[in-house]
Amino acid sequence: MKNSKLLALLCIVCTFYISNSLASEHHSGHGASKNSSGSNGSANTCGKPNLDKFLPPHLATVSPGSEFSFLVFNINNPEQIAVTVKNIPIEIKAEFKDPFYLVKGKIPASLVNTAARINIKVSAKSPHCEVEAGWLLKIVDK
C-alpha cells in the first residue's frame, strides 16, 4: 500500500515538473527582441519630428506681415513641412542648423484685426509618424 501511494505521489510530482518545464519553455519566447512586432527596433518605429521655439510666443500681438519662426527636429527634408495661417498656405524658408531646421515665414498682410493660428504639419512616410502643431497670434494693424 505504501508503494502505491509513493508511486502516485511520484507521478503527480513528475506531472507538475513536466508541465512546468513545458510552460516555461513555451513562454520564454515571448520576451521583446529586435525582430518582434512590439519592439522599439528601428525597422518598426520612426523618429517622430519635434517642433519647438515658436516665435513670437503663443497669444502675442503682431502686425500684418510679421515674421514668425520655429525649430523642427528629426526630419530629412524641409519639403516635409507645410504651414498655413487661417487656411492660407505660407511660403517658408528652412535653414539647416545641425541637428534642426530653423523655419521662417510671414503672416499674410491681408490678415488685420483678427486672431490666427499658425498651423504646422510635418509629413512622413508613415501616418503614425506625422506631426501637427501650431500656436495662436493676435494680428492688429499698428
Q: Please tell me which residue, 126 or 53, carries the higher pLDDT value.
A: 53
> Which has more pLDDT, 22 or 95?
95
Encode pLDDT of 18-43 as tens digits: 555 444 444 444 444 333 344 444 44
Q: Is the torsion defined by CA of 128, 74, 67, 79 positive or negative?
A: negative
Q: For the full predicted model, state whether its pTM sits above 0.75.
A: no
Question: Higher-confidence residue: 35 or 76?
Answer: 76
Whether 6 shows a pLDDT value over 90: the answer reads no
pLDDT > 70: percent of the chain: 68
Q: What structural domains does the chain harbor?
A: 50-139 (2.60.40.10)
Where does the pLDDT of residue 124 fall: very low under 50, low under 70, confident under 90, or very high at 90 and above?
confident
In one-letter notation, the amino acid at residue 59 is L
**pLDDT score, position 42:** 45
Phi/psi zone of residue 86: left (φ > 0), alpha (ψ -120 to 50 degrees), beta?
Answer: left
Report how far residue 111's alpha carbon sits from residue 120's, in angstroms, rounded to the nearest whole number. 18
Calculate the dihedral angle through the C-alpha atoms of 47, 52, 54, 57, rounding to the nearest 10 degrees. 140
Which whole number is the average pLDDT over 115-138? 92
The pLDDT of 56-85, averaged and rounded, is 96
